[in-house]
Amino acid sequence: MLHVIGIKNCDTIKKTKKWLTENEVEFEFIDLKKEPLSIDEIKELEYKVGLDVLVNKRGTTYRNLGLKDRDLSDEEMVGILQENQSMIKRPVLVLDEAVLVGYDKEAFKNFVGLEDLEDSPEV
């Protein structure tokens, strides 16, 4: 089962859910506000995709925390991510052991096995 991790009211999550629904891809949505990831889950994502991919450095939370000019270890950043999960780039798609981060319709097609799909609905 495909898991989509994000925040319910995020526009990118809304677009992702709409694309998946229109392309008849079953998924389970995990709302980080209601079901925050555990430290182990964050560490697993970090291991699979890296912090550079996982952390949304353009987001408000990252800027408000003043992290741009701080030299943080990966362990420190994982701790900050656990406390500030809105800083996780969205969406995070998890399918078995594979992880895809960010909104990209072409990548979605490949990730969920719809690479032969022509003219998918625009979102």
As annotated, the active-site residues are: 10
Rounded distance, CA 80 to CA 54, Å? 12
DSSP letter for 28, please.
Answer: E
Helix (H) or strand (E) holding 101: strand 98-101
Helices (H), the chain: 11-22, 39-49, 51-54, 60-64, 74-83, 105-111
